Chains A and B, each alone.
Chain A
Amino acid sequence: MEEQDLLRSAVREFALKSIQDRALKIEHEGIDRGLLQSLASQGFLGARIHEKYGGSGIDLHGYLTIINELATFSPSVAALVMLVNSVQAPLLGDAEPESLKKLASGEATVATSLSDVLEGSWTATTLQKSGTGFKGVVEMSSLHNGEFAMALNREDGHLYLFKNGIKALEEDSGLSFRGLSNGSLEISSGDFTVLSQNGEEALKSIVDSLDLEVAAIALGTAKGALDKAIEYVKVRKTFERPLKDYGPVANGLSRLMAEYLSLSSFLDTVDENDSRAKLTLKILSVDFAKRATKASLQYHGGYGYIEDTGVEKFYRDAMGLSILFQRPHHDSMRLSKEIFGEKSGYL
């Protein structure tokens, strides 16, 4: 535990120095190479990647602490670290050691789209064979300006890694995680590796395995918003009294903080082999993040509605988190199956 506390202070110190003042710039312009490389040199970017590939090989709880703390400053930065460690690295596996090294060092990023397997999506990728390679467009991808790109080919069902011929098309900042440089991209490449024969299943199981990561980011996102609200209501006065003197304000915020603390201690101690606990934690944390960020924005009044205040991004990201990195209806059924011991809740 002490080790985790030390790690948390190190991440916090880093975020105060390297993220806090740039948080708005990150929302507008994305995570720049400089920040990516400082994340790497601190060992955060490749936290879960094996040391032989240049990562730091940190244990799961250490890794969760990193993304949780980063999210209190910038959920986009936390999501990037999650994408690298929990989505891209496992998919690249041992098949792409050189690409993995570039990823862990911040030398390259991989455009990644989970959209093809998210609920409510209609096929976002169109790839077609062209000579010995492929051509096509991926409609919505994080890090769409990456050097590499992962894309699912509906025709043969494979998940590919493309290593050249990637062109970023128009950026579409979208609702959430704007720092991830979301947008479409065009692929015209003959340099590729098949990462999975059954790409759709591989992506689905990756998305379903993000329970703890999503919970950690959700709680960090909520904390980032709550911290701001608590500071704000101490100094903002209405009717000649600080806002914190009013019951609905102080007690509302205190209840949310109490909820945060209990979910956080759940996260700190959760057993990584307990699938029910992990899923429960994700479902509760995401729901909590949506409520906590909404209330925090509201306590800021009109200022909460303006990006300079730095609270509205948490509200957007909490909502995005519930859609972009999980399959909520599927998760509800997973939980029901855990509780009832058989397929339930599907009608």
Chain B
Amino acid sequence: MDFDFPEDIVNARKKAQEFAKKEISSEMAKKYDRDEKFPEELRKKAFEYGIVDYTNPWSMLVTIEELCRADPGLGISATVSLFGAEVIMLFGSDAQKQKYLTKVQNGEKIMGLAVTEPGGGSDVAGIKTKAVEKDGNYVVNGAKMFITNGTIADFFVMLIRTEEVEGKRHHGLSAFIVDSDLPGFSKNKLSGKLGVRATNTAELILDNVPVPKENLIGEPGKGFYYIMTFFNISRAYVAAQAIGIAQGALDKVLEHLNRLTKEGNKALAEEVQFLAADIATRIEASRLITYKAASYLFQFRPNPTLTSMAKAYASETATFAAEKALEITGYSGIMGDLERFFRDSKIMEIWEGTSEIEKLIISRNLLKEYAEVA
């Protein structure tokens, strides 16, 4: 067992740190947060700098961590333009990969993943958006809610019901690539988010949208399975976002405490020291679970229980760290970058499987494993 990363990953982390130092400032983060503006320039620069490359998943994991450590809203925006790409990578045809993936991989285009609907996100099998075959197309009607990159994406991987299967809700769902410029496709930007306000979020409305048949991903009716496979991958990246946020909060705590000891020239209260130690310990534990889950995943031996543990634990660590960091730093924290980290961190417990859903997955898997052994 070796807890050290190989040199190339250490270098990837360093490179991401360099980029963050050069390109992400507190003023910039504050501005994009206030204006709720997507940082397209930053996204492009991240590609040019060569730090966004999902074909190298370990590098990506540590890059996400480091960029979110600098600022969650900007860090996520700079790395999320391929959101959903793994569905095409794993289950799409060569033609789909050629047509759609190449351009998101080089940063030219942006994509999104549209699963959640106004009526529900946790209950993936309950989605209502429907497609019916007509004249060589699938005609889609329905709505998707809270979709990241919603008004800026060129296309979406979308989960759509193509068949009602009595008593089996997760059957009859299919995944499609839906171009965002198709007739009948409209988008409403959602503003007024609590945090990650630099990220773009929208509601998508589909009114008789003709999706070409060749845009069906893999087999019809297998969409639920494809999306669950995707979540098992993306949740590791969300855990990395959360670790980055928690680490960023801890950085600010240490900066504050260092300043206090230097300026006040006095010993720190033990209560404060204990809190800082708790934050650091939870971050370390989150890293261990996340890297272990990623290690299985990136060797094509995914362990969904571990991935859900990583996502849930790291997310709760992010909100814990941001809240405790504000408590420690008090007024100066609330007036500085930490208040944004506090707002941003809460999304971690909600998107890509709420903490409650992750916990259900963990215990169901544990019980299944137990039953198999017994």
**A residues whose Cβ falls under 8 Å from a Cβ of B:** 115, 118-122, 140, 174-176, 237-240, 248, 290, 294, 297-298, 301-302, 304-308, 312, 315-316, 319-320, 322-324, 328-329, 332, 346-347
Contacts and interface: CB of A to CB of B under 8 A. Distances in A.
17 contacts: A120-B330, A120-B332, A121-B335, A174-B334, A174-B335, A175-B339, A175-B342, A239-B123, A301-B354, A302-B116, A302-B145, A305-B195, A305-B346, A306-B193, A307-B194, A316-B194, A329-B330
Interface in B317-348: 319, 323, 326-335, 339, 342-343, 346-347
B351 interface: yes
Interface stretch (B151-159, B227-235, B265-273): B265-273
Nearest to A290: B323
B122 interface: yes
Nearest to A176: B334
Given A175-B339, A238-B126, A305 B269 contact: no
B118 to A, nearest CB: 9
B350 A305 contact: yes
A71 to B, nearest CB: 19
B332 A332 contact: no
A122 B356 CA distance: 40
Contacts of A328: 327, 330
Contact of B269 (A176, A239, A316, A329): A329
Contacts of A305: 193-195, 346-347, 350
A302 B271 contact: no
Given A307-B192, A329-B272, 11 more contacts: A176-B334, A238-B120, A240-B126, A298-B354, A301-B350, A305-B350, A306-B190, A306-B192, A316-B343, A319-B334, A323-B326
B122 A301 contact: yes
A140 B269 CA distance: 27
A115 B334 CA distance: 11
Contact of A307 (B120, B193, B267): B193
A302 B347 CA distance: 8
A329 B354 CA distance: 33
Contacts of B326: 319, 323
Nearest to A312: B194
Interface string B47-87: 00000000000000000000000000000000000000000
B355 interface: yes
Interface string B101-134: 0000000000000001001111100100000000
Contacts of A306: 190, 192-194
B355 A323 contact: no
B145 A322 contact: no
A301 B334 contact: no
Contacts of B145: 302
Interface in B186-227: 190, 192-195
Contacts of A332: 271
B342 A323 contact: no
A239 B356 CA distance: 13
B256 interface: yes
B146 A302 contact: yes
Contacts of B351: 302
Contact of A119 (B119, B330, B335, B356): B330
